[in-house]
Amino acid sequence: MQTIIETLFSNTNNSWSVGSFGAIAEFTWDGNEKVESIQDAATGRITERGAMVITPHTQLKPIAYETLRKDPQSWGQAVAFCLPEALAQRETLDKLTELGPDSGSLKTDSKDHILFDIGLNLKFIDVCIRTNDNDLIQRLRQACGKSLFEAGNTIMQDIIQASPTRVFITNISRAEVYQEIGLVKAPEGPHTHVLPKLLSAGRAFSANTPIPKGFLPMLTLHAANPCRDKKGNSKDFEFSDHQNFQIMMNDWADDDYIQQKNKTWKALTEGRQPEGFDSGENRQLRTATRISIRQYHHLHAEKDALIAQWREAFDKAVNTEELAD
């Protein structure tokens, strides 16, 4: 598995994330920026904007999946690398807590900076900040022992204003983000999100992510998308990106999902009308049908008239509950 992840990591068109529903760190790097490899043969990279290191576990289970986007011409595609819950869980904290100097820092010049767990108690991820800003350290120490979202607690505003390094730690990975926190929108490249409204749901992952029961997502690959670049902008359809991910889907996706896609493609290839076609008995299978239509559109423009009928039947209305979070 380490060889597979290293190969995927070396592709700068891919991006990665680690986190839970409502708290996530995203990492990406570009081919033209200065990059350091991680020591000890671990998979990862260090850049001036952020860093990530991955130590794959022998029981890591990859789950490939696709998600709907509001744009009817595109879709999302990702692989969640999961561990059984018993191997994923950590002794997480529910209050802001000082942890001391960060000896595990991926940047050697930051190992004496002070690490604070912000107390999100996500069970399998430690969400921390690291700083050598003495003023911020004093304010953080005064707030230790309190929930970040306790009434009257203003420490979150202090953290946002100071924009310290954010550190996300799981049993197989560490992500560090050095860029400033985006006040209006996330900056390009490595960044983090901590969203109290989503955290309040108490979920480990989005309902649109098909994680098997008893597993938790430790790391997610956001694979190079054939329709959109890393900034989310539309691009000309790139067949190699599509083909590469479909190989992962065949290896790592849910069998029922793949069967539904194959059934949809077969019907389209045979020129069948959508009437009477079973688009699926649940959300996952209906998503497979809709994404199959979108993908077929890019590969078989000569059948646009037929595809338009299938869109009208199965991919016309946008159900926001079925979109990627």
DSSP 175-220: EEE-SPPPSSSPPSSSEEEE-HHHHTT--SS-TTS-PPTTEEEEEE
Give the rounded distance of the alpha carbon of 277 from its chain centre: 33
So what's the pLDDT on residue 323? Answer: 54
What's the chain's average pLDDT? Answer: 93
The answer to whether 85 and 55 are in contact (CB under 8 A) is no
To which H or E segment does residue 236 belong?
none
Nearest partner of 288 among 315, 257, 263, 259, judged by Cα:
257
Torsion of CA 9, 88, 104, 162, to 10 degrees: 90
- Cα distances from 237 to residues 68, 69, 225, in angstroms, run 17, 16, 9
Strands 15-20 vs 97-101: parallel, antiparallel or unpaired: unpaired
So what's the pLDDT on residue 286? Answer: 96
Answer yes or no: is pLDDT of 318 > 60.
no
**pLDDT, tens only, 203-227:** 999 888 999 999 999 999 999 999 9
Nearest partner of 114 among 89, 87, 95, 96, judged by Cα:
96
Helix axes 155-162, 134-143, angle to 10 degrees: 160
Strands 50-54 vs 61-68: parallel, antiparallel or unpaired: unpaired
Task: Give bridge partners of residue 78 from the DSSP assignment.
Answer: 65, 222
Kindly state the average pLDDT of the residues 32-58.
88
**pLDDT, tens only, 161-206:** 999 999 999 999 999 999 999 887 888 899 999 999 999 999 999 8
Answer yes or no: is pLDDT of 77 > 90.
yes
Task: Report the 3 state secondary structure along 73-139.
Answer: CCEEEEEEEEEEHHHHCCCCCCCCEEEEECCCCCCHHHCCCEEEECCCCCCCCEEEEEECCHHHHHH
pLDDT tier for residue 325 given thresholds of 50, 70 and 90: very low
So what's the pLDDT on residue 41? Answer: 61
So what's the pLDDT on residue 320? Answer: 47
Identity (one letter) of the amino acid at 207? A
Cβ neighbours, 10 Å, residue 269:
11
Give the integer Cα–Cα distance in Å for 204 and 221. Answer: 17
Kindly state the average pLDDT of the residues 94-99.
97
Nearest partner of 121 among 101, 139, 96, judged by Cα:
96
Answer yes or no: is pLDDT of 148 > 50.
yes
Kindly state the average pLDDT of the residues 114-137.
97
Answer yes or no: is pLDDT of 6 > 70.
yes
The secondary structure of residue 43, as a DSSP letter, is E
